Structure 1
């Protein structure tokens, strides 16, 4: 895939322009978005992402188009999981609804910057060291295990990192509109709004570690990695308000993502064997007989896993709700 520096510059400039527009059009004036507003903008950004994928397939071939769609689906699913943790952070710091847009916007921009840095590092490693596929594959298998057995009920606002921050920063307990600092009795204090941003930024760093190896397991094209991440993050703010209630019902999302990460981890390890250069494995020779997972299978597997996890989650929460109603009625009889 031949991407010129000019195309890179235009892509980055347009991405920045979208986020600048988001800030001045929606975030600058604090308000809680309506369901209608959130739905319209979510549909717009998802439609734009799909249209871009069609453009890649038409211009560069559907192998690259398939890689983009597989990467976009994976990054969008990971972003939704990211939203779940954002929800916990917002609740933990009791962020007023009208200021949550600003927190989300800053968090998403931080995520894009961190992922951009990770993409550049990942591209440099892949270009110079084929053994990095072994590293990425092993990392994804470990992350899949962590994802499957992680406890999303843990409060990230009370973790060791935030305890360290509170110990070393003067903090006020009250919100002062959407300000990050406030002066009291001649001394400067940080507000809970600032602590929320720190927590969100730390979470973004952790999720970038999941995200970048996962998509590099689907494509080695840095341009596809960047655009899939950018489109996955665009509209995430509106999606938060649109499916805020639904997030708590996706009880099997973590397990579904664990399956996807494990699948991509195995795919990476197979690819690493296929291009092997490590002298202590097969004498440093590539194992060309090792099968590689085709992109169409990756796309099908990722889409099916997300669908199964979503349907299973909604069925379970519905059964639990019906059981709770039945038990409540029996107690009143």
Structure 2
């Protein structure tokens, strides 16, 4: 698809304007977004992405339009998976609820910068080396395999090498000072945990880009479509986090669905590499006659897998149990942590969610309820949350 420099400029300016609007009108003043606010703005950003895709469909044709929507849906699904890690990092660092929006927006901006760099690097490699499709395909197949492995401990996700080095080399405070990155403690300037959170999220963003960019290049090699599908999938991610916060733990089969999608795209890339082959030790450097997977088939497969994955997760007793137990642990931890929020309405919301999750735990099958009884630390945490709530009520 031929895109003029003017269209490129207008598109980039529009994306930057959306990010600036998000910061000045929503994030600059620390607050906890309501469910209504998150739902409205999530819908608006998804609507913008769809309208843009319809524009590509009308002015670019069916091929580019299908490629855009396939890329957007894939990147959106991968970005939801990224939210799991963001949630773990922010829970581990005890980021106050009011400041989580700012952390998420930083993650989105850094992710957009990292992905843009990888997009143009990937495009340059594709134009110079046809064999790069083999490499991209192998990356996706390995990533798909890794997604099927048991999840790492949550603490390991946040306490990565970069953070351990930062804590060791740089003076860091134990407490937040609003949303400041640097504060004064005992007469010395030190880093706050807020900066470490942003370093952790920035580091994970780079790793996410290594997976997501080969994935979308497996669906289209049009740089404009790759860039816009990636950018619009990231815009609105902050609002989506607060909208589906309670559902993240419920999507127990999402990693399997994403593994299937990345594996499918990996195979598609390798088939394309064989079709374009010029590697001397493969078929003597000649093209290999193989069946290539069309964009229409790719889009149908991606949508089908995501629908099955989400429905299976929502209907799964294991998903219900996992969501209730993980949510109860997270909300009990947030309630007893006085640094988590100073907003009494937010504390009430957290405790109400905790009560709902405890009720959900009581309605679980016996084998799942036993999970909670066997976790002595969790039971003590729940009791402490109730004790603190009772004490606050009697004051």
TM range (shorter): over 0.9
Query: What is the CA deviation profile of residues 128-157 of structure 1, one whole-angstrom value per residue up to 9, with x for unaligned ones?
Result: 111100000011101111112151543222
Q: Distance in 2 between matches of 1:16 and 1:131?
A: 34
Residue 185 of structure 1: CA displacement?
2.9
Do the aligned residues in 2 keep the contact of 1:181 with 1:191 (CA within 8 Å)? yes
Q: Residues 322, 101 of structure 1: CA spacing in aligned structure 2 closer, same or farther, 3 A cutoff?
A: closer
Q: Residue in 1 aligned with 2:117?
A: 117
Q: Residue in 1 aligned with 2:364?
A: 325
Structure 1, unpaired ranges of 5+: none
Residue 168 of structure 1: CA displacement?
1.1
Q: Residue in 2 aligned with 1:236?
A: 237
Residue 159 of structure 1: CA displacement?
2.6
Q: Distance in 2 between matches of 1:233 and 1:329?
A: 35
Q: Distance in 2 between matches of 1:42 and 1:95?
A: 22
Q: Which has the larger radius of gyration?
A: 2
Q: Distance in 2 between matches of 1:303 and 1:76?
A: 12
Q: Residue in 2 aligned with 1:93?
A: 93
Tell me whether 66-75 or 318-327 shows the greater mean CA deviation. 318-327
Residue 208 of structure 1: CA displacement?
0.3
Q: Distance in 1 between matches of 2:37 and 2:368?
A: 38
Query: What is the CA deviation profile of residues 83-135 of structure 1, one whole-angstrom value per residue up to 9, with x for unaligned ones?
Result: 11100011000001000000001110000000000001001111111110000
Query: What is the CA deviation profile of residues 42-66 of structure 1, one whole-angstrom value per residue up to 9, with x for unaligned ones?
Result: 0111111111111111111111111
Q: Which has the higher relative contact order, 1 or 2, with Cα contacts under 8 A spaced 6 or more apart? A: 1
Query: What is the CA deviation profile of residues 276-315 of structure 1, one whole-angstrom value per residue up to 9, with x for unaligned ones?
Result: 011111111111x201000011000001111111111111
Alignment of 1:1-333 (within 5 A): 1-151=1-151, 153-155=153-155, 156-287=157-288, 289-316=289-316, 317-318=319-320, 325-327=364-366
TM-score normalised according to structure 1 size: 0.95
Residue 187 of structure 1: CA displacement?
1.8
Q: Residue in 1 aligned with 2:340?
A: none
Residue 4 of structure 1: CA displacement?
1.4
Residue 184 of structure 1: CA displacement?
2.1
Residue 8 of structure 1: CA displacement?
1.0
Q: Secondary structure at the match of 2:154?
A: coil
Q: Residue in 1 aligned with 2:388?
A: none
Q: Distance in 2 between matches of 1:146 and 1:74?
A: 18
Do the aligned residues in 2 keep the contact of 1:85 with 1:152 (CA within 8 Å)? no
Do the aligned residues in 1 keep the contact of 2:70 with 2:219 (CA within 8 Å)? yes
Q: Secondary structure at the match of 1:248?
A: helix
Do the aligned residues in 2 keep the contact of 1:270 with 1:291 (CA within 8 Å)? yes
